[in-house]
Amino acid sequence: MRWIVMIVVWLVAVPAWSADFQAELSEIQKRWAEIQYQMPENDQEKAFERLTTDAEAFAERYPEKPEPLIWQGIVLSTYAGAKGGLGALGLVKRARAALEAALAIDARALAGSAYTSLGSLYYQVPGWPLGFGDDEKAEKFLKKALAINPEGMDANYFFGDYLIEQGEPERARVYLQKVIAAPGRPGRDLADAGRKAEAKGLLNKL
């Protein structure tokens, strides 16, 4: 009887744990989008700093899951972008470590988002001796992301942006148009609208 009770308790507890995880993940995603796309630029650095603390705590609570590590990397990366300067280099190194840890657990998690985020870091971060930037690694990771999620909004956006950086605007146009045509993601309306607007902005500059 004792074992039956324990099994029933476990079966009841699993959906609650899963629901808590999904709620936390959704909250991190929502707050990131609000800061990135709705908050004035002057306020973003402090807001991303606070969100970094929460994202790191989220990853610590679920060390066996790749999704919190991916979002830890994403938040650290955007915090670095908001901070700028030499002070951002430590943040992008922490972001890279989180994303690499996510890849080691499940490279396909969140439709290959760890590859997308790593690729974006490698072409945006300065190269040696200041940073670890590397265009060849950037292309490799971004292509892996596209292989997993060929219609993905973020994968196409960052590969398009990368191609612009490489002086290939016509190739970039194809990928940026796919961003605009990409289907929306459940619960990610604000992020989707922001990403599509960014893609349109890049297309207008070509």
Burial readout 175-201 (b: 16 or more C-beta within 10 A, e: otherwise) = bbebbeebeeeeebebbbebbbebbee
Architecture of domain 150-206: Up-down Bundle (1.20)
Say what the pTM is: 0.90
The helix/strand/coil state of 184 is coil
Q: What integer pLDDT is reported at residue 7 of this predicted model?
A: 36
Closest CA to 68 of 37, 95, 102, 96: 102
What value does the mean pLDDT take over residues 174-199?
96
Give start-end residues of each CATH 1.25.40 domain in the chain.
2-134
Q: Does 137 have pLDDT greater than 70?
A: yes
Q: What integer pLDDT is reported at residue 15 of this predicted model?
A: 41
Q: Does 11 have pLDDT greater than 70?
A: no
Q: Is the peptide bond before 129 cis (omega within 30 degrees of 0)?
A: yes
- Give the 3-state secondary structure of 29-96: HHHHHHHHHHCCHHHHHHHHHHHHHHHHHHHHHCCCCHHHHHHHHHHHHHHHHHHCCCHHHHHHHHHH
Q: Does 181 have pLDDT greater than 70?
A: yes
Residue 66 region by backbone torsions, left for phi larger than 0, else alpha for psi between -120 and 50, else beta? alpha
> For a pLDDT cut of 90, what percent of the chain falls above it?
87
Tell me the per-residue pLDDT of 79-134, one tens digit each, with 9 for 90 and over: 999 999 888 999 999 999 999 999 999 999 999 999 999 999 999 999 988 889 99
Q: What integer pLDDT is reported at residue 18 of this predicted model?
A: 66
What value does the mean pLDDT take over residues 23-42?
97
Q: What integer pLDDT is reported at residue 87 of this predicted model?
A: 85
* DSSP at 125: S
Give start-end residues of each CATH 1.20.58 domain in the chain.
150-206
Q: What integer pLDDT is reported at residue 188 of this predicted model?
A: 96
Question: What CATH number belongs to 2-134?
Answer: 1.25.40
Assign 16 a pLDDT band (cuts: 50, 70, 90): very low
Q: Does 6 have pLDDT greater than 70?
A: no
Q: What integer pLDDT is reported at residue 4 of this predicted model?
A: 39
Q: Does 38 have pLDDT greater than 90?
A: yes
